[in-house]
Each structure stands twice: as C-alpha cells, then as structure tokens.
Structure 1
C-alpha cells in the first residue's frame, strides 16, 4: 500500500543544498522531502537515474515516512570522513569538517585525473590521520581489472582498510579479488549491490569481502537488512549525499544491523554548507534517530520554481511506476 499521490504532493518540499566542495560532479544537491504519519522522509535519486530506478528510492521514502521501522540496537553510529577528489593540499581542510572521525573514505579514479593524484591525496590523508587512522578508497567502478590491480599496489603502502567498488562488474570484482587477495586488502561492493538487478549476485560469486548498503537505493531499511542477512557478509552503511533527513534514515539502518564492524559513510552532511537540519559528526559519530527539518531552513534552501516543478513531475512519474507494479495507493489517516 502506498499513499495517494495527492498526499505526497501535499507536503512535498524541494530543496537545493550547497556543497563546500564539488562532489560527484555537482556543487548543489537537490532533494525532495515529504512528511508522512511517522515523520519526514527523503526522495533524492540522482537526476540522471531513470524512473524505474528512481521509483525504488520513492518506495524507500514511503516506507520511512509511513511505516514503523525496525528496532534499533545502538543509539549512535560511528562515521567516516569523506574526502572528495581534491588536490592533496586541500585534504587538511576537508578533514577538519569531520571532527573526531577515525576513518576516512577517499575518492579515487576521478574522471580527468591520474593515479599520481590519487596517491598524493591518499598520502596526505595518511599523514593527517597518522598511523592509527583507517583509510578506505572508493573508485565507483571506474577501473578495469588491470588498472585496479595497479592502483591497489600503488596505494597499498598507505595501509588501506578496503577498496570500494574498484571495478564495475561482478566478474571483474571477482577476478580482482583473486589477484590481490595475497595483499590482504579487502574488496567492498557498492554499485554491484545497490544498482544491480540481483543485489546478492556479488556475494554468491565470491566477488567481495563486504557490502556497502544504502537505504534509499535499496528500497528502505527492511529491504537493506534482508540483503545483508542473505549476503552473509559484513556491511557498511553509506549515504547517497543525502540531506539530514536521508542521513537519519541511514543512521537508523546502521543502528538496526546485528553487527556493525566498520564506521559508516553517514557523515556527509559535513560536506554541505547548509542543510535542512543538523546531523553532522560529533566526536566521530551521528545519532540514530529521525530529524525534523527546520521550517526556516526549508524556506532558505528552497529550490527554484522550475526545479521544484521538475521534481514534482518526477515524483508523479515514479508514483505511477510503483502503482503499475501492483502497489495500491491509499489515503492513510493522519
């Protein structure tokens, strides 16, 4: 059962959050927020995603806003700093936005950059965090197997916690994992889980040592928990550059996992210069509870009229996709 479209449109607010540093090719992150009987939820698939994929993000928002969530096992979640593909000289300034974080995820394999820039960036992070800091790298599937093997060799001296999605396909990940296993650097799968028709294929193929899960792309907290249970691998909960509302959903997912061995990528609110609510790392952790957007911030961060119309139209189309897939609309009592 899903709410009627009119109920979603009734509370929809479209916001545009400015970033302190260009990230994932954008300087401003847009999102659509809706308020359900159980609280605020976020619908923010990246603009290039087709409606079929984006509708899963809407299902996650509806689940979060209209359904009770699994019981939490912890009140706070340790998070990592996120270092975009910046020049090495800017690393200290980025890390300063993540006070108390003992782990850093460093973006590598950025289009237009070369491996030497990745090495310099990771070296700068290691120097800033010291020998006790944990460093993971994320290539977003940009390397082929040979490139990934070469890059991991070059980055290995900086004591990597793991390499996230170094290659695009499950077959490539499996081959790379076989090649670098002797180095003791685990392989994590992100896109091969959240963008896959079968999110368990990577686990069945023995192509990863752990999985990166995100609440919105996987259809909500319950669905993500099911995937982790079936995969049988350690999980890291991460964000999709969410607003504080989406980050709260991610934190509640992380708080619901039976085991949480790794710091989570839920501190990305620190990358914004402004947000709809406060949810940034304090002493390296974020709280695991819902947030309520500040009305003044919603007004201040409101997207332009044409962007608002674009998102409302997208919401309508994705609602239609869910309805066509047999999910019946209803008007819940408020």
Structure 2
C-alpha cells in the first residue's frame, strides 16, 4: 500500500478567542493511502497543542511510523489488520484518527457507498450544527449572533470564561431573541464554586448546555448534580475512565481525541449505555476531518446540534458540500468521505 503524508496550514479569517487562548491558524497533516485499483483514501490529523497537549511534530513522527508499517503490510491485509499495524507502530490518537479515516474512505470507495452507509443501516441524511461565537466584546458578539441566525442557525455556542461573560451573553440573547438555543463553553476555566455562581447568574439567558464549565470527573459530576443547567464534558472526556464514569448528561466527542471514526463510535455507544447523550465537534479541523465527523454523526443519528460548521472560519476555504444550510450539513453522497482535501 502506498502511504504519504502532507502538511498544510490554514489561516483563520479572524482569530478564535476563548479562555484557553487565541487560535489564528491551524497546522494539519493529511494522510493519503492508495489501495487497489488506484483508489485513494484521505485522512487528517489535527492536533491542537493548547487544547490536547500534542504538538504537530509529535503527530508527524507518529504518522511516519504508522505509514511505514502500512507500506510494509502484505497486500492481503484487511482494513482492520492495517489499523492494528498502525496502532502497533504508534498509538497516538490524533495520528490514528488520520489512518482510521483514510481506511474508512477507501472502504467506502471500494463498495461505492457513502461512508455513513457503511457505518449504519439507517444514517441521518443531515446533521444539525451550531454556530460559534468566540469570547468577543458584547457588541461584536451580538452582531455575529445576528449574522449566524440570519444564516439559518438555531443553536449558538458562545465562548465564556472571561470577565465580560454576562455582558456578552446578555447582548447575544437580546440580539437573537428567546427562541434561539444558547450553549456556553468555558473550556474548564472555572472552579466548582465559580461555575455554580456563573451558571446561576446565566439562568435568565436560558442556557441549553454548559460545556466543560469545570475540569475533572468529580467536579463535573458534583456540578451536574447541583445545577439545573445541563452539563457536557469535553476536555475531561479524554481522561482515562471518564466516559465510563458518566459524570454529565452530555459528552462532546472529537474525532482526533477519540483516535478516529471507529473509536468515536465505540465511545458514543459507551456514553449512551450509561444514559448519556453525545454530540460531535471539531477542533477547527480541515475539510477531511469535518467530512469524517459528519459521517460519524450521521451514523449515530445525533439530534443535538454538533460543532462542525467551522470551515468558513478559514481564509480562502469554501465549505462546498460541507457548508451548512438552515443550521444543518447535508451528508455528502459520494463514495467514501465524498470529499477530498481540496473538494469541500
């Protein structure tokens, strides 16, 4: 099997500001696997060091080991066997996500069906998505919110964890009215006491979900049991044992942190078996990563809006088939992912 790695950098049109810092560009690693009959599968590794602690160099090293293992694999190796060969070479989840996605893309192309139809008998045809507003000034946040609602979004996620959270949320709520769902994301910025106080102060704004208001399984569980606001685990869900502990009503799953589509589906099954619900979000992934996450969300028939409408944040990137319409992304109908790195 031929296996190549390509580096790309996507610039954000405007920086995304959160309590975790500011992101103004994304370094990504693409994996291209060539299978039988010239079919090509694409995968994407999207580590984000301020978020997951993984550097782009660490990810590249892992991918070099993994792709070397795939090149040396016998032609008779199955997709599952190839995945395990890559994992044996280096099990870094962000790199495994690229290998896993590329193998699924090849499988879909081989069978001539969209990836979601390989993953599920009855996948959704569209995936609901939310708009995202960074930790902007109240005036800018209100204008962005109005623009997103005009574009068809019915759920907005607002970054919080800074001094002007209440003013930002009030401005957004006034701008969009009472029918738009507001989700907040603190990226674990608060202590347990701060989270209780902040969520109480935000109750008048009707918060749909508070994402990672605190960090850690115990803190999330205690907060979830002491507030009426639904809580979602995000960063904490990457900790060993966190998903099985089921500390929150919701879990935000991410393709890179899970280690690929296969692992993400398994994580979703574990969360749902404990009575929780999941949604999928990107870490400002590129087109290949977004396409893979959309297929996974469709296979899971997720109804909670997902954080996958992020391609328009990049300068010069046209969302194409992955552009949201009316707050939804239509699942690509082409074989495999249905899109490539330059085809979104």
When normalised by structure 1's length, the TM-score is 0.76
**Matched residue of 2:284: which SS?**
coil
2:155 aligns with one of 94, 103, 106: 103
Residue 13 of structure 1 contacts residue 34 of structure 1 at CA under 8 Å; is this kept in 2? Answer: no
Helix, strand or coil for the counterpart of 1:294?
Answer: coil
- Of 292, 304, 307, which residue of structure 1 is paired with 2:340? 292
5 Å matches for 1:305-324?
none
Q: Partner of 1:8: helix, strand, or coil?
A: strand
Structure 2 residue aligned with 1:43: 45
Which digits, 9 at most, give the CA deviation of each residue in 1:229-256, with x for residues without a partner? 1122111111111112211111111101
Alpha-carbon distance in 2 for matches of 1:275, 1:97: 18
User: Are 2:156 and 2:181, in contact at CA under 8 Å, matched by a contact in 1?
Assistant: yes
CA–CA distance in 2 between the matches of 1:108 and 1:211?
Answer: 18
Deviation at 1:276, TM superposition (A): 6.8
Match of 1:271 among 309, 313, 329: 313
Contact 1:102 1:129 in 2 (8 A): no
CA–CA distance in 1 between the matches of 2:318 and 2:26?
A: 12
| Residue in structure 1 matched with residue 134 of structure 2 by the alignment | 84
Do the aligned partners of 1:97 and 1:270 also contact (CA within 8 Å) in 2?
no
Structure 2 residue 13 is matched with structure 1 residue 14: no
Once superposed, which parts of structure 1, at least 4 consecutive aligned residues long, lie more than 6 Å away?
Answer: none
The answer to whether the Cα contact below 8 Å between 1:190 and 1:213 also exists between their aligned partners in 2 is: yes
Q: Decide which of 31, 34, 51 is 2:31's aligned counterpart.
A: 34
Shift of 1:277: 5.1
Structure 1 contact 17–275 (Cα < 8 Å) conserved: no
Q: Displacement of 1:36 after TM fit?
A: 2.6
Partner of 1:186: 230
Partner SS state of residue 257, structure 2: coil
Q: Which residue of 2 aligns with 1:227?
A: 267
Shift of residue 8 of structure 1?
2.5
Equivalenced residue count is 277
Q: Distance in 2 between matches of 1:224 and 1:199?
A: 14
DSSP-derived class of the 1:60 partner: helix
Q: Larger relative CO (CA 8 A, sep 6+): 1 or 2?
A: 1
Q: For residue 316 of structure 1, what is the aligned residue in structure 2?
A: none
Segments of structure 2 that go 5 or more residues without pairing to the other structure are 35-39, 63-90, 108-114
Instruction: Classify the secondary structure of the residue corresponding to 2:92.
Output: helix
Superimposed CA distance per residue, residues 247-290 of structure 1 (whole angstroms, 9 cap, x where no aligned partner): 11111111010x42311111112322322753332221112233
Q: CA deviation at 1:34?
A: 2.3
Q: Cα distance 1:29–1:97, how it changes in 2: closer, same or farther (>3 A)?
A: farther
Does residue 93 of structure 2 align to residue 56 of structure 1? Answer: yes
